[in-house]
Structure 1
Amino acid sequence: MASQIVLMASDLDKRFAQNISLPPYENLVEVELLDPHPNTRGWFYILITEPEPANKMKSSTRYVHYDSTHDLIETDTNTIGFSSKNPFLADRLQWFLGDDKGFSEDVIDTMKIRHEGKLFHFLPFERTHGDYSSKLVAVKEGPVRIIRRTANKIRIVLGVGSPAVYIDQIIYRNTFVMDIIVDVPFRIGAVFPDLTAVPTIEAWSGQTHP
């Protein structure tokens, strides 16, 4: 299984000076990252150890925190929660307003998703979040990001549901990404040409981004 390195760009730092005492060179990997716009660069280091290093060698910094009881994710910029009925939909979002004010009121009225296309090239097809059945199947929590996976089915015709549609929500301290994974034994374009999926979030009237 391939390994993946996840870090915040803000954690990149200057290159170690040559006279600094470091672990043996064969156990240390230096990585330089270059951003051509605006031509900045930074470094981070990977220490390879066996067995796993003691906790005192690990950073205590955590950018994201997961509350499994309430299916809630909190960072220093926002708090986001999810629907118990359709857990692929966010139903709570609060912005952090500062140490003196804490978090804002919930700004989400509702999150929706709409699919449109044609079934077998001629039958109009339209489905919304109300046509979904959904359940949370996995959460992977780390100090930099949290990944929530839901397994979902969409009502197609005559009560027949789709194969499982997996939705991965990847949450960083200030970024939210949603990946949709569909694994079917046929080419989707042959059955649903021009199929679109449009998620939207509606805010409560009068609520604004801080």
Structure 2
Amino acid sequence: MTKLNDLAKIELIAFTAFAVIAFIFTAGAAVNEHISIPNHVYYNRYWINLLSSYAITCLCYFLMVFYVNVEVKVKERQTSNGVIFICILIYLCWIAGLINEYFAMLLAVKMMAVFINSNKDREKLTIAQEALMLFSLYLFLSAITNILSYHVVIRSILGILVPVAILHYLYAVHVLLPELEKTTRTGLKFSGRTLLNGALTYLPVALLILVSN
């Protein structure tokens, strides 16, 4: 397990306390509503869903502290895909409604803080660092659009197209480009492969959004 310094311990305790207090207030409001409204019935698995939501949020935060915070600083070897997988996990939990808007913003700030802390040497960004930075910006903006109740089209774009674009960019820059640099006509091949991958990726996603709306 990662050894935490005093500041990290205080941060972890503060987040855990905040999550527990938020859960208590949410549960208290639900109980009060149940008592004050005649014939009130909780929807199916309400308490399990509520507890799972807070547990998953805490798990995502702990992964940021104990795994991502260390893995994203690795420079001597190729960074594993674990950081990207965790970013995707947080994204999936967010669009599934398992993380609420305010905790999503808190996670986004934590992700950005981890990125900034890992980039103190100003070296070339790794794929893990770029993924962390881009997904933190996406998560923060997406949470804000939900809080402000933006139009469903904007939220659909942020919910599906932007994350796909992020993954497409990471693949193009950190996987495809280094692979094609070893060949001739790198620019032409890179442009062609990028356009082809983009067409195969975005057209089905765009059609899915249009059909769902």
Alignment TM-score, normalising by the size of structure 1: 0.22
Q: Please identify which structure carries the higher helix content.
A: 2
Higher-Rg structure is 1
Q: Please identify which structure carries the higher strand content.
A: 1
